[in-house]
Amino acid sequence: MARTLTLGILSDVHYASTAEQARGADYENVGIPNSLLRLGVRMYRRFIWLNEPLQKNYLLDRFIEQAGVPDYLIANGDYSCDSSFVGLSDEASCQSARECLGKLRGKFGNRLRVTLGDHELGKVSFFGGRGGMRLASWRQARNSLDLEPFWRVDIGCYVLFGVVSSLLALPVFEPDTLPEERPEWERLRVAHLKEIREAFRALKSDRRILLFCHDPTALPFLCEEAEVRARLPQLEQTIIGHLHSDLILWKSRWLAGMPRITFLGHTAKRLSSALRRGEHWKPFRVRLCPSLAGIELLKDGGYLSAELDPDGRQPIRFHRHRLPR
């Protein structure tokens, strides 16, 4: 009889190297000319989202101590604080990700699988309108950190897939890119989709799928692919990160189908574009892996583990673990 295997899953570590920490707690406020908005951002950080985001490295150490040694550890994106908002093309952010992944690789070795998050590639800041996706960040992820865009693990009747959400959702994130870089981003997206289609097409009908996708914004675009739609009955769970808290996931589901907002700036347009198609998340059976820190309002950070029967005689059992801070 095959033994039950264990998976550990963490997401949204947002580790900060010394160089990122040197930018100070107010790094988000740089470039925001309105003093009332700057105050609002501070209050939002302090009481709702995450206070002192550059000072949470100890949570990764706490996770490594607490998580044991699972058969596989899945890291589901966002390894730096991306304090310059251009992803790994910023050396300070790249150093953060390098240190974070170095600790995970040092503990878990070849048991580790790593999914790219949106902050690896860069994204326009929530309030200040700075930054965006950069091809230099993609090259750093591939060449400096040795991250694979698409990965696969076979465990008995299960297959685990990891995909790059920002590439799949490029039609939403395209305004975050530089005009001269858009043709290359589109080429990368086409190649990524081709690899995903081939993998789903080749699956046998008795295989069960676990999908790891950092940002659920990508899921409606996956649903457009016939090869993916044909295998949705075999998909047991899609593990996402990005939202940090089940409260945000609940709100996202409640707002699914909302109209696109085009008159309140870049961020409102991007978020509403994602939520407009949120009803397409349902067939992917989404489960959130929280950030290690959670959100300030609830202090609900943690990680997931799962028990998996390779023969498929029992459904996967997921467990959520709190990580006190």
pLDDT of residue 127: 74
**pLDDT for position 266:** 55
The whole-number pLDDT of residue 33 equals 84
The low-confidence residues of the chain, meaning pLDDT below 70, are 1-2, 128, 258, 261-276, 278
Per-residue pLDDT reduced to its tens digit, 219-257:
999 999 999 999 999 999 999 999 999 999 988 888 777
Q: Write down the residue that tokens 């550990």 correspond to.
A: 8
pTM for the full predicted model: 0.95
Helix residue ranges, H only, 169-255: 170-173, 182-202, 219-223, 226-231, 246-254
Q: In what order do the strands lie in the sheet with 112-114?
A: 112-114, 72-75, 5-10, 302-308, 317-322
**Which pLDDT score, from 0 to 100, does residue 272 have?**
58
Report the CATH architecture of 5-20+56-322: 4-Layer Sandwich (3.60)
pLDDT at site 264: 47
